[in-house]
Chain A
Amino acid sequence: MTEPHLFELSHVGRCRAELPDVDVPLAEIPAALTRPDLRLPDVSEVEVVRHYTRLARLNISNVNSLQSSGSCTVKYNPIVNEEVAGLPGFAEVHPYQSTEDLQGVLRVLHDLGNWLSDLTGLPAVTLQPSAGAQAQLAGLLMVRRYFEHRGDAAQRDTVLVTTTAHGSNPASAAMAGYHVVTIPQGRDGTLDLTALRAALSRRVAVFMMTNPNTHGVFEDRAVDVADLVHREKAMLFLDGANLNAIVGKVRVADLGVDLAQLNLHKTFSTPHGGNGPGAGALLVRSDLEPYLPTPVVSQREDGMYTLDRVRPLSIGRVRSFYGQFGILLRAYTYIRAQGASGLRQQAEDAVLHANYLFRRLRDVYPSVYERDCMHEFLVTAKHLKTYGVTARDIGRRLMDYGYHPPNVPPRLVEEGLLIEPTETESVESLDAFADALVAIAREAETNPDLVRSAPHTTPVRRLMPTRPNGVPDVAARLAP
């Protein structure tokens, strides 16, 4: 049954929210400045609660089942972290209170930054960016200012990205004002070093690399890559979206990385929120430190935490206040619960789980690369195209089995399915997911229409805009 939206549920007078009466003399707003009406929905409290409860049931997430989206790291989000974020000492403090009164906040930011430095081997950090993409933008702007400050900015106008890179990499490079050149990958799923060598020159400011890459393959020549990049005095930027595979196992600085962005809503388990809020951390080598966004948290000799606001070489702020504090707090709480040994075990289990699931599936869905995977893997469903079934069809059919579909990489791989199970799934959960995918392959052969027309049991089936050629319906209003 279709759930009415709030504007359809509205009846004049139904909402009884009681706020205090005005208890002071009335002031006057100039009539020319006031609005004539406020046509918001008028819904009773119980109907509002039922509306959102019904809507909640239409979603699936990691509280229902394994969420297989590759490179997204959709793991379990500890419920205790929500409780911690709600403590009044964190939830009810104002960003412009005196730093003396925000010592707990600053300690969280300071320690979390130190821990991430420890894990990456990159000494300087900002936690201000709101998400991975904003951290990329901040990092690229810092590099621009760094080269400008050293007097060779005009020359370095290019950022290299890989074909397997997430779309945010080229988009962030363009926002930072760079030309983008794309480096292909070789047949084994790793970067084509010959192409990289040919593209590198003194015009290149940054090479952006994801490792493990978004096909689940570890770039095992990363150190050679770094040497090539550094020979041209360019910088190696790591998109850390896939850190979950290597956290606690290797410091990315030891792979020659100069700066890295981490998505705390992936590796460190803060909820995805249905597409936010997230938080991005940016870790950089020491000579980039002066360019970090303001302010920077520091600790004085007497132990007090402060905000360092006077930073003449800084690129400036990328957002208001000190970043997504409530999300950073959840990541801090998560790291304290997991501890150093837990983070290491997390990476090992994530990789083991992926390899186990990979092995369970590869007889039915051939692997794209003949090698072990890291925390995610890429298989193909191209053999099912003879039955008219695509990778997207298989993903939709998985919804009928109660799962979120894998990612289907948009280019490069024919009918690819990119699957990341994460460390929080049990072996039974991995088996059940494998069984579902195997069953779907069988369905594709015996009853392809069933798969092609999936999903069948979801609240709605495949959707098309209601007004494909008219003015798009992107908002409702109250009936006059």
Chain B
Amino acid sequence: MPYLASTNKDRAVMLAAVGRSSVDEFFASLPNHGHMQTSTIPEPVGEFELVAAMANLAATNRVVLRDRSFLGAGAYRRFVPAIARYVASRPEFYAPYALSHSEVHQGTLQALYEYQSLLGVLTGMQCVNASLYDGASACAEAVLLAKRVTGRADAIVSGALHPEVQEVIRTYAYGQGLQVRQVPWSPATGAMSAEEIARQLDPRVGAVVVQYPNVFGVIEDLLPLAEQVHAAGALLVVYADLVALALLKSPGDSGADIVVGEAQSLGLTVSCGGPSLGFFATRMDYLDEMPGVIVEACQDGEGRRGFAVRDYGARDRSLLRERAVSNVGTTSTLPAITTAAYLAALGPRGFRRVAELSFHRTHYLAERLSALAGCRVRFSAPFLGEVTLELPCRAAWFADGLRRRGFLAGLPLGGWYSGLDNCLLLGASECTAREALDHFAEACLAQLAEGRTSRGTAEVAGLGSVSL
């Protein structure tokens, strides 16, 4: 019980002061007077034993070195500058309660204002909120915002939007009676089908959601889509990757109305998918329709600049209750501050280099791997930091084989897309130098060769005579 402050003597002093003989008196109205037994919770341990036990438990997970890891698909293991860790590890940032008392939380509030500003630059949008839980729920909130401002209850989502994001949109839509229509992607290019979206755009549609670059790594063409969507009176929601936005035209410049996504890859460890950081950006018209808090520059009576949560009274759930735009309260302040510190540490050239290394190395990797017999880049549209590779075998078998060889080869797409059983989604990054890519390509070659031996004949069928 290392974190309790009172001794038995202290307890006796306090009990005497309140005129009670036992603490049980406070629990008298509980069933059985507050005497219950737990059966599964262990007894207390001290820090020494605790750390040893947790280290042992951590060791039962398998950590693959970053330069042998090509798996992303929405969660990324990127280089984290020491400054980002320094900021995240300071209790002055991780321990404060919340933001409602601005005079004693200026550090956090200013850091959040800076975060909003930095993400405004990347997304090309005028306003950004101070964070949401994760990219998927941020995207669901975007669909709900579109319903509120357009009064239209249907949403169109591209089939090439990350399936877990689609699933969260559907969960949130269920409560609101929203219809979510999924439109197919082009089997040739891997991009969303603009024709199909145009066909579906009717006066019931309030939001169109696409991913940029999409789940297959393909760069969608947003500009013509935005024109179509706006002509139909709907809002364009873009689920964007922030590293890609270091190189790509911002969604704001392409006509997006709302830009959301997951920012974990900017300075947060992957940590099995959480804590995460959902960002939410939009045009000034919808500033006060955004869920969550927004930090605004202010001044005090002496003319000093400060920062405060915007119009806390009017946006606050405690006052608006069922009329509040969202139920969110606790979101992701610390990750947001960490991401801002990451961008500050890398600066414009460093952050751009991260994106360039991902882009050029992923293309090199794609070229190396598509030179292997039976392998090709699956889709014809341009891609950026991830690519969909088609293999001459089941991708799940291939990835498992490479796992045994010490690699995280990528994500087999068959679990999400029934026609893509032979496809693997993978990407290179600033952590995978050319040598690491060559080494990986050799391992892929060996794995395919194994598929042609007796053990794997069922896996790489019909390729027996082809030389790799």
- For window 1-56 of A, CB contacts with B under 8 Å fall at 2-3, 5-7, 14-15, 17-20, 22-27, 29-30, 32-35, 38-43, 45, 48-49, 51-52, 54-56
B47 x A49 contact (CB < 8 A): no
A319 interface residue per 8 A CB criterion: yes
Cα(A225)–Cα(B145), bound, Å: 36
Q: Which B67-126 residues sit within 8 Å CB-CB of chain A? A: 69, 71, 73-75, 77, 79, 81, 83, 86-87, 89-99, 101-108, 110-111, 113-114, 116-118, 120-121, 126
Nearest B residue to A263, CB-CB = B330
Which A residues lie within 8 Å of B262 (CB)? 320
Q: Is the CB of B62 within 8 A of A93?
A: yes
- Stretch from A196-204, A227-235, A245-253, A383-391 contacting the other chain: A245-253
Chain A residues near B337 (CB, 8 Å)?
274
Q: How far is the CB of B326 from chain A (nearest CB, A)?
A: 7
A19 vs B351: C-alpha distance in the bound complex, in angstroms? Answer: 9
Give the interface size bracket for B toward A. 35 or more
Give bound CA distance, A56 to B344, whole Å.
Answer: 16
Q: Is the CB of A118 within 8 A of B41?
A: yes
- Cβ < 8 Å to B, chain A residues 37-87: 38-43, 45, 48-49, 51-52, 54-63, 67, 69, 72, 74-80, 82-87
Chain B residue at smallest Cβ distance from A127: B274
Chain B residues near A167 (CB-CB < 8 A):
316-321, 324, 329
> How far apart are the CA atoms of A206 and B248 in the complex, in Å?
48
Residues of B within 8 A of A156 (CB): none
Most buried by B among A35, A218, A251: A35
- In B272-306, which residues have CB < 8 Å from any A CB? 272-276, 284, 287, 293-302, 304-306
CB < 8 Å A-B pair total = 671
B271 lies within 8 A of A90 (CB): yes
CA distance A41 to B42 in the complex (A): 50
Instruction: Please judge, given known A-B contacts A35-B248, A426-B10, whether A41 and B344 are in contact too, CB under 8 Å.
Output: yes
Say whether, besides A5-B114, A27-B363, A356 and B17 are in contact (CB < 8 Å): yes
Total residues of chain A contacting the partner, CB 8 A = 197
A339: chain B residues at CB < 8 Å are 1, 41-45
Q: Is the CB of A321 within 8 A of B300?
A: no
Kindly list chain B residues whose C-beta atoms are within 8 Å of the C-beta of A359: 17-18
Q: Which of A136, A320, A335 has the most CB of B within 10 A?
A: A320
Residues of chain B within 8 A of A459, CB atoms compared: 103, 106, 306
Chain A 175-203 against B: per-residue CB contact (8 Å), 1 yes, 0 no? 11100101000000000000000000000
Decide: B6 and A426 in contact? CB cutoff 8 A: yes
Contact indicator B175/A41 (Cβ below 8 Å): no
Task: Tell me the bound Cα distance from A63 to B273 in angstroms.
Answer: 28
Asked whether B327 lies within 8 Å of A352 as measured between CB atoms, the reply is: no
Within 8 Å CB of A173, what residues of B? 322
In-complex Cβ contact of A272 among B6, B83, B97 (8 A): B97
The yes or no answer to A423 lying at the interface (CB within 8 A) is yes
Q: Which residue of B lies closest to A63 (CB)?
A: B91
Chain B residues near A318 (CB-CB < 8 A): 137, 168, 171-172
> Is A429 part of the binding interface, using a Cβ–Cβ cutoff of 8 Å?
yes
| Contact of A472 with B103 at beta-carbon distance under 8 Å, contacts A59-B92, A105-B272, A359-B18 already known | no
Give the distance in Å from the alpha carbon of A474 to the alpha carbon of B286 in the complex.
13
Alpha-carbon gap, A51 to B87, bound state (A): 10
Pairs across A and B, CB under 8 Å, 26 listed: A17-B350, A20-B433, A22-B356, A24-B434, A27-B360, A40-B347, A48-B345, A55-B106, A67-B97, A94-B272, A98-B403, A114-B40, A130-B137, A173-B322, A182-B321, A250-B32, A272-B96, A274-B97, A276-B330, A277-B333, A346-B3, A353-B14, A399-B101, A423-B6, A472-B296, A475-B128
